[in-house]
Amino acid sequence: TPPAVRRPIRDLPDELVSQIAAGEVVERPASVVRELVDNALDAGAAQVTVRLLAGGVRLISVEDDGDGIAREELPLALRRHATSKIASLADLESVATMGFRGEALAAIASVSEMSLLSRSEGQASAFLLDARSGELRPAARGTGTTVEVKELFFSTPARRKFLKTDATELAHCVESVRRHALARPDVGFAIWHEGRLVEQWRAQPLAGGDALARRLADVLGEEFIAQSVPLRHSAGPVTVTGRVGIPDAARARADWQFCYVNGRYVRDRVLTHAARSAYEDVLHGQRQPVYALYVDIDPARVDVNVHPTKIEVRFRDSREVHQAVRHAVENALAAPRAGAGVPLLP
Ligand code: ADP
Ligand code: MG
């Protein structure tokens, strides 16, 4: 039955617009963790500390030592579509930062109690902004930013009901940081839950030694390194690096398949299909190969503005990417060491 009364067209209230937008970006605590860690990395952080209570539902705090936010810009950081990362379409087409939509903080603030504590380089004091009240006052901390998100979805109980147990939400949060950690071996990460240190991955100096191998060993375990081989392959505008597991390292689940495009963790069928097809002749049955693949490509040849969470990308020429990845993995698997599985770490 059609509605009896047609209502007039009206602008939605700002808060409701933000809550609707938040639905796309913030699905669970791990989405908040991902956005806040993205911001920390964009700010040039060398150390990122994540603290959680109740799987992140009661508290998510992300602390960084990046370049901070100036006092006068703190309120802007919370505004929808306000960003320091792009200013034009040309910037968007060659974006090198994790963020660029200027949406995350506004979205998160609309479904939580959020505060920003930040001190920018050269500023004499830090400032604390309470998102709800707008109150801004001096506070203490070194250069960098701490974002606190409390009581996620307290105002949207429908969303809150979809949350799983604390343990499950925590696992998703850890997975989110793990994805960042594998992209940035040069940055240190720590995750605390209920006052207990859950994971700690120390910064690996990029100079001297294989920082990626060390980070992979820290995050996935020494066996991953013992049972994988490095790869590097360039084809035109595409360069593929990383490590691929030998066939014996394959797992029952596809949970150790990490793909990055220009430093961003992505889920992409072109990449997973290319990798899988490289294992065609050496891996049989349902077992899933393990790998960490890093695709670097001219930013003009990939669109990252496809999905609000930026977990999907679109390649201008997906064949060129598919071929590059497939060849990279095939070559690595054909190398003599791929059969032997010699540990690389001292
Ligand atoms: P985006 O990352 O797309 O720009 P966000 O809503 O995530 O949008 O953040 C808005 C702005 O706030 C950023 O552009 C940045 O200038 C600032 N900001 C957010 N988090 C941090 C941080 N941890 N350190 C420094 N600046 C930050
Ligand atoms: Mg952001």
Domains of the chain: 14-201 (3.30.565.10), 221-340 (3.30.230.10)
How many residues are present in the chain?
Answer: 346
346: pLDDT confidence band, cut at 50, 70 and 90? very low
CB–CB of 170/50 below 8 Å? no
84 in contact with ligand 1, CB cutoff 6 A: yes
Q: What share of the chain is helix, strand, coil (3-state, %, to 5)?
A: 35, 25, 40
Angle between helix axes 318-334 and 269-278 (nearest 10 degrees) is 30
Token pair 């793909």 in the structure block, residue: 259
How far does the centroid of ligand 2 lie from the alpha carbon of residue 342, in Å? 40
| Residues 117, 127 contacting (CB under 8 angstroms) | yes
Q: Assess whether pLDDT exceeds 80 at residue 191.
A: yes
Residue-level pLDDT at 340: 52
For ligand 1, atom 21, the nearest C-alpha belongs to 39
Of ligand 1's atoms, which has the minimum distance to the CA of residue 38?
2
Q: What local confidence, expressed as pLDDT, does residue 284 receive?
A: 86
**Alpha carbon distance 102, 201 (integer Å):** 29
Which pLDDT value is given to residue 77? 96
Question: How would you classify residue 82: left for phi > 0, otherwise alpha for psi between -120 and 50, otherwise beta?
Answer: beta
CB distance 44 to 83 below 8 Å: no
How many whole angstroms separate alpha carbon 12 and alpha carbon 14? 6
Distance 328 CA to ligand 2 centre (A): 32
- What DSSP string runs through 159-194? HHTT---HHHHHHHHHHHHHHHHHH-TTSEEEEEET
- Indicate the burial class of 273 (C-beta count within 10 angstroms; 0-12, 13-18, 19 or more): middle
User: Could you tell which of 31, 105, 149 is best to mutate to test the pocket of ligand 1, judged by most ligand atoms within 8 Å of the CB?
Assistant: 105
Q: How far is the CA of 38 from the centre of ligand 2 (A)?
A: 6
Instruction: Identify whether the C-beta of residue 300 lies closer than 8 Å to the C-beta of residue 282.
Output: no
CA dist 113 and 156 (Å) reads 12
| Nearest residue by C-alpha to atom 23 in ligand 1 | 40
Short-list 205, 182, 209, 155, CA closest to 294:
182
Calculate how far, in angstroms, residue 246's C-alpha sits from the geometric centre of ligand 1: 40
Please report the pLDDT score of residue 21 as a whole number: 85
Residue 309 CB-density burial (10 A; 0-12 exposed, 13-18 middle, 19+ buried): middle
Q: Which atom of ligand 1 is nearest to the CA of 86?
A: 4
Q: 41 CA to middle of ligand 1, Å?
A: 10
Question: Is-contact 242 292, C-beta < 8 A?
Answer: yes
Residue 260's pLDDT band, with cuts at 50, 70 and 90, is: very high
Q: Is 40 a pocket residue for ligand 1 (Cβ < 6 Å)?
A: yes
- Asked whether 52 and 192 are in contact (CB, 8 A), the reply is yes
SS3 224: helix
- For residue range 2-43, list pLDDT tens digits in order: 667 889 999 999 888 888 888 888 999 999 999 999 999 999
pTM of the predicted model, to two decimals?
A: 0.94
Task: Examine the predicted complex and report whether its ipTM is higher than 0.90.
Answer: yes
Above pLDDT 90, what percent of the chain?
Answer: 82
